Amino acid sequence: MEEVDVEPTTTVSTARALNKKHLGFVWGPGDILVYETIYKASGGSAGGCPFVHEVRKDEDIYSPILRKLFNESHHIFVGLQRIRDDLPSKNKKPQFVSISKNYRSVIRACMEELQQVAVSTQDAALATQYGNQVEYIHLSLWCEQNFNIFCTLFFVCDPPAGSLVLHLLDWVRLHKADVDEKAREVLASESPAEHQAYWDVVISYVLQGRMDEARQVLVKRATLQPAARAMFKLLDNLLMKMPIFNPGETQTLTEFDVKWRHWREEVDRCLQDQSFASNPHLEDICKILVGDEDVLLEHKELLSTWYHFLVTRLLFSHPTVKPTELHYYAQSSMHMFLDTRCVPEPLDSILLAAFEFDIHQVIKDCSIALNNWWFVGHLTDLLDHCKLLQSHNLHFGSNLREFLLLEYASGLFTHHSLWQLAVDYFDHCPEFGRVYLELQIERVPLDTERKALKVIRICEQRQMTEQVRSICKIMAKKALRNNRLGSALSWSIRAKDAAFATLISERFLQDYCAKGTFSDLDLIDNLGPAMLLSDRLTFLGKYREFHRLYGEKRFSDAAKLLLSLMTAKIAPRSFWMTLLTDALPLLEQKEVIFSADQTHELMFCLEELTSGKSVPNPDRPMQVLGYPLSNVCFPFNLLIHCFIICSNLYSCLARG
C-alpha cells in the first residue's frame, strides 16, 4: 500500500518585530536556524540583523523527566528487537503483550512524576514553568498514555468480548487520575460527607466502575443520616453485587451475561419502586447503573471527554461488547457528547481511527497531532513486529517503520546525551540506518576527550573507519591549538595521519630546543611501532631513545644511535648541529666511544653542514643534551668542536 504525498500546509509567521523583512532559515535534524536577510521586500538591501534564532521543533527532549521516558523506552525497544523472527507466532504474542505493557508502565510513571513535580513545588515561578511544561507536553503524552488501547487492546492481544470493557476502564482510569486527588481532599476534611465535592467523588468513582471506592465514601454519608440508612444500604448492595467479567475465572461469557441481566433487572425494580426518590444523588447513581444516557450527559463535567462517556456507557449498557462493534458505539457517543457546533479535535480522529482498527490512519493522525516521533516510532515498530504493517511501504525507498524510527533517532541526536540512544535505533534500520548514523555521528559536539573516545568506540564497533579518522583528526587539531602536544600526537597516531604527526613532531623538537627538555615523556617513550608513521616521528622517538641511553651511561649504544640518525638521513638537516653538539660529551669521555669510522662520519656530517649545503637556523638556540649554547659564541664553539673531533680522529687512527 502506497500513500501519495500531499503538499504541506503553509504556516504564516505574525511576528510584528520582523516588519515585513525577509527571513532565511537552515534546517537541522532537530531545529531550525532563522535569520534576517539583508534584502528589503521592495528590492535592494538593508542592514542585516546580527542575531540568529534557534527554533526547536522537539522541545520534549530537553525535559529531565521526559528524558527518563526516552531512556526507559529505549531499553524496551532494544529488548523487542531481540525477539527471534523464527519463533512461532503463538509463542511471540505473549512477549509482544509484555512489551506493550512495559511501554505503558513507563508512560504511567513519567506522567505521575510530571504531575507531582508541578503540584509540589513551592516556588511560584518554578510552578508556572512546570505548569507550562505539563501543558506543552500533554498533547504528546495523551496519546502515549493510550499505548495500551492502541497496542495491547486492539492490534496485539485481540481481547475477547467481555474483557474489552475492563481494558477500556483501565485506560480511562489512567487518563482521568484527578479523581483520587479530589477524594483525598474530601476525606482529609473535618466533615467529608458535608464537603462540597463529596457527591462528585462518589459519582466519579461510579462512572469509572470503581464500586468498592464508591461504597467506602458512601459510608461517610450514611452515618450522618440514620433515617436514610436503609436506602444507603440498598444502594450499597447494588454496587456490591454488580457483576464484573473476569477472563481468568471459569465463568463463561454466557453465564456472565445472564448474571448481569438479573442484576440489571434488580436495579430497574428499585427505580420503578422509587426506592431512592427522596435522595436525588442516590437516584442519579441508580440511573447511572442502568445506563441512563440522559443522566450520564448531565455529568459531562465529571466525564470530561466523550471517550470516558463511551466507556461508562458500555460498562452499564453493553458490558459484553465485541471489538468489531466498538466503532459504532464510539461514533454515536462522540456525537451525543459533543456539541453539534464543536469541531472534533485531532485526538478525536485518532481515537475513532483506533476504534475502527485503521492502523495506518492512527499513525498518520498521530504524526500530525504530536510534536515528536516517540509515540508513532515505537507504536509502528511494535506493530511491524506483529506483522501488521508488512504491506505498507513508502514510495521513496523505506518502509513506514524505518522512516519513523529514523526521524525519531535524528531528533535524539540533537541532545547532548540522548544521541547515544539514537545509535541503537539506527542499528535496527537495515536500509538507511547506517547512512544516517554516518552523517549524524560527525555532528556530535566533541566537547571532551572522554566524549570523543565514546564516539570512536561506537564507530569502531561498526567498522566506520573514515569517521574514526575524522574524529581523531578533529581532536588532534583541537589539542594542538591548546598546545597539548602529547594529546595531539596521540590523536594523530590514532588517526594514522602521517602529515599531522610530522607537524606535531616538529613542534616537539622546537619545544625541546627552546626548553631543553621533552614534554610528555611517557608518550614518546612508548611510541612503539607507531613511530614508523612518519620519518619525523621516527626521529623524535629515536632521539628520545638516545637521551635515555645516555642517561643510563650506555655511551656506546647512544653514540651508535646518534650517528645513525644523521647518516640514515632520518634527522632533519636543521637539527644536525644539535646532534653534533650532543656528540661532544661522548667525544670528551676518557674511553674512546666513537671508532675511527664513526668519527670520520661525524667529520663528514660536520663538513657537509658547514659547506653551505644545509644552514641551521641562526635564531634557534643550540642544545647539548638539553643544555643551551649561546648564539653569540656559536662560531668559536664550532671551531672548538671541530678541533676536538679531529683530535679524536687522529688519536683513534694512532691507536688503530
- The pLDDT tens digits for 363-392 are 888 888 777 788 889 988 988 888 877 655
- Assign 628 a pLDDT band (cuts: 50, 70, 90): very low
Condensed to tens digits (0 to 9), the pLDDT of residues 159-209 reads 666 678 888 888 788 777 778 888 888 888 888 888 888 899 999 999 999
Most confident of 8-17, 439-448, 531-540: 439-448
d(CA 187, CA 548) in angstroms, rounded, equals 83
Q: Are 252 and 243 in contact (CB under 8 A)?
A: no
C-alpha cell at 22: 525577509
Average pLDDT over residues 314-335: 89
Q: Are 57 and 70 in contact (CB under 8 A)?
A: no
Q: Which of 513, 514, 452, 536 is nearest to 487 (CA)?
A: 452
d(CA 125, CA 128) in angstroms, rounded, equals 5
- Assign 428 a pLDDT band (cuts: 50, 70, 90): very high
In terms of phi and psi (left: phi > 0; alpha: psi -120 to 50; beta: otherwise), the region of 29 is alpha
d(CA 199, CA 207) in angstroms, rounded, equals 12
Rounded (5°) CA angle 250-254-259:
90
C-alpha cell at 195: 464537603
Q: Is residue 619 pLDDT above 70, yes or no?
A: no
- Assign 107 a pLDDT band (cuts: 50, 70, 90): confident
Residue found by looking up cell 540522548 in the block: 418
pLDDT given for residue 629 in this prediction:
43
The average confidence (pLDDT) of the chain is 76
- Assign 630 a pLDDT band (cuts: 50, 70, 90): very low
- Assign 615 a pLDDT band (cuts: 50, 70, 90): very low
- Assign 146 a pLDDT band (cuts: 50, 70, 90): low
Amino acid at 160: P
Q: Which of 333, 278, 286, 292 is nearest to 310 (CA)?
A: 333
**pTM passes above 0.85:** no
Least confident of 27-31, 84-88, 331-335: 27-31
pLDDT given for residue 622 in this prediction:
45
Look at 528 and 533; give whichever has higher pLDDT. 533
C-alpha cell at 183: 477524594
Exposed/middle/buried for 86, CB within 10 Å: 0-12, 13-18, 19+? exposed
Cβ-proximal residues to 130 (8 Å cutoff; 6+ apart), any chain? 114, 117, 118, 121
Average pLDDT over residues 506-527: 72
pLDDT given for residue 5 in this prediction:
42
